[in-house]
């Protein structure tokens, strides 16, 4: 690997001159002749800057850490893709960490990334992030003087930058869609409480019911954990409730779980219940009845999040900023008028 030293030697100039030329320093006064000579040599020797050296002297790495709970989840992999492609355009590389849904791993990752000198950290928090006690979360953020942003969820007890999508509105428009089709008994599968997204979605669901003068019934609420498995486990309970005609689920995966269970028990759940999920999972199109879903508009979220993060990296007066992205309801065949069950 050719270094600036090599170029300097061949061009009979100092390393400083080479550095100034190759970085196009605005106030540098280098003769056109030397400039061209140095550039020629850089090409000839296939000079590639050494990032470790730049990193060390400039105190910036052009690396951004991205910590996600589970890359296997299609929503997170979509986020990851968009973030990576977008960061690359700005000259940053993505250091990727799969926290495997563990707060301890998130903590370790953040410490390790700070030590690695990343320029910023994007954390898509795990469920567990919201289940540990506030003190632990606080401590995590307290020791952190890196540009940092939470994506896709935020705790209300922490002063950090975050970008999330508007859960209240998302749940509201989804519930409204079901009500408009004539549903009155709408099951709502929550995510765990403590998770802000879950609480907000519940709020949106309740608000929509109230605004349409429908009762908010505790027995219509079911608790899941965003996994296919938890949908699977809830399925028998929900399908026993003969009054329910529609299901609103905090994500598509849990609906997939219900569908799987139903398939194994020969119940035609897809035509019996109107269903809406969250995440707009691309796989839902493959289902016999493609799912209507609340799209969180990941691209918009990322655009905003990166704008906030990069601005934060550029400035020296850290100000925490927040943004909520308006969701979009992607309408598919899974929403229809109530079906009277006859069994």
Helix or strand run (H / E) with residue 239: helix 228-240
- Concatenated DSSP letters of 47-85: ----HHHHHHHHT--SEEEEEES-TTSHHHHHHHHHHHH
Please, which residue, 15 or 49, has the CB nearer to a second copy?
49
Rounded to whole angstroms, the Cα distance separating 336 from 324 reads 30
Rounded to whole angstroms, the Cα distance separating 24 from 79 reads 35
256 binds a second copy (CB under 8 A): yes
Question: What is the per-residue binding string for a second copy in 195-234, x denoting contact by CB under 8 A?
Answer: ---------------------------------x------
For residue 56, report the phi and psi dihedrals to the nearest 5 degrees: -65, -45
141 binds a second copy (CB under 8 A): no
258-277 positions binding a second copy, by CB under 8 A = 259-260, 263
- Give the CA count within 13 Å in the CB-facing half-sphere of 260: 15
Closest approach of Cβ 110 to DNA, in Å?
18
175 binds a second copy (CB under 8 A): no
71 binds a second copy (CB under 8 A): yes
From residue 264, how far is each of 150, 166, 269, 341 by CA, in Å?
A: 39, 35, 11, 19
Please, which residue, 196 or 235, has the CB nearer to a second copy?
235
From residue 132, how far is each of 5, 104, 129, 240, 287 by CA, in Å?
A: 52, 10, 6, 34, 36
Closest C-alpha among 231, 334, 329 to residue 285: 334
Residue 74: which of a second copy, DNA, none does it interact with, CB under 5 to 8 A by kind? a second copy
89-118 positions binding a second copy, by CB under 8 A = 93-98, 100, 111-117
Residue 179: which of DNA, a second copy, none does it interact with, CB under 5 to 8 A by kind? none
Can you say how many angstroms the Cα of residue 4 is from the centroid of all Cα atoms in its chain?
Answer: 40
Please, which residue, 35 or 260, has the CB nearer to DNA?
35
Please, which residue, 117 or 217, has the CB nearer to a second copy?
117
136 binds a second copy (CB under 8 A): no
Name residues whose C-beta falls within 8 Å of residue 108's C-beta, 6 or more positions apart in sequence: none
Closest approach of Cβ 17 to DNA, in Å?
4
Q: Other C-beta atoms within 10 Å of 38: how many?
A: 24
CA dihedral 18, 23, 25, 29 (to 10 degrees): 30
Residue 192: which of DNA, a second copy, none does it interact with, CB under 5 to 8 A by kind? none
Among 23, 28, 48, 193, which residue interacts with a second copy (rule: CB under 8 A)? 48
Query: Are 304 and 321 a contacting pair, CB within 8 Å?
Result: no
Closest approach of Cβ 207 to a second copy, in Å?
31
Closest approach of Cβ 34 to DNA, in Å?
4
Closest approach of Cβ 41 to DNA, in Å?
13
Binding piece for a second copy, criterion CB under 8 A, among 33-41, 68-76, 129-137, 313-321: 68-76
For residue 41, report the phi and psi dihedrals to the nearest 5 degrees: -65, -40
Please, which residue, 24 or 115, has the CB nearer to a second copy?
115
Name the residues that contact a second copy, by CB under 8 A: 46, 48-53, 55-56, 61, 63, 66, 70-72, 74, 77-78, 80-81, 84-85, 88, 93-98, 100, 111-117, 143, 228, 256, 259-260, 263, 282-283, 285-288
């Amino acid at each position: 690997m050719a270094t600036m030293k090599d170029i300097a030697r061949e061009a009979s100039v100092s390393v400083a001159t080479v550095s100034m030329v190759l970085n196009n320093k605005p106030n540098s006064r280098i003769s056109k002749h030397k400039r061209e000579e140095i550039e020629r040599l850089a090409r000839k020797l296939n000079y590639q800057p050494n990032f470790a050296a730049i990193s060390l002297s400039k105190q910036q790495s052009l690396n951004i850490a991205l910590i996600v709970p589970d890359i296997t989840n299609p929503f997170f992999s979509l986020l990851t893709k968009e973030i990576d492609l977008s960061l690359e355009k700005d000259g940053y590389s993505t250091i990727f960490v799969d926290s495997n849904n563990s707060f301890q791993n998130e903590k370790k990752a953040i410490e390790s990334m700070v030590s690695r000198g990343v320029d910023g950290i994007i954390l898509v928090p795990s469920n567990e992030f919201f289940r540990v006690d506030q003190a632990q979360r606080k401590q995590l953020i307290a020791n952190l003087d890196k540009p940092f942003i939470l994506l896709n969820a935020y705790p209300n007890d922490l002063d950090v930058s975050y970008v999330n999508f508007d859960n209240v509105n998302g749940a509201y428009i989804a519930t409204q869609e079901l009500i408009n089709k004539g549903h009155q008994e709408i099951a709502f599968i929550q995510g765990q409480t403590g998770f802000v997204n879950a609480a907000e979605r519940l709020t949106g669901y309740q608000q929509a019911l109230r605004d349409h003068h429908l009762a908010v019934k505790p027995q219509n609420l079911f608790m899941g954990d965003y996994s296919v498995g938890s949908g699977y486990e809830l399925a028998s309970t929900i399908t026993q409730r003969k009054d329910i005609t529609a299901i609103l689920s905090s994500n598509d995966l849990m609906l997939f779980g219900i569908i799987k269970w139903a398939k194994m028990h020969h119940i035609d759940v897809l035509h019996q219940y109107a269903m809406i999920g969250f995440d707009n999972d691309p796989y839902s199109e493959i289902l016999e009845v493609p799912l209507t879903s609340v799209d969180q508009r990941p691209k918009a979220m990322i655009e905003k999040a990166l704008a906030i993060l990069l601005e934060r990296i550029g400035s020296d007066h850290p100000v925490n900023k927040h943004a909520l992205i308006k969701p979009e309801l992607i309408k598919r065949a899974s929403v229809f008028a109530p079906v009277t069950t006859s069994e």
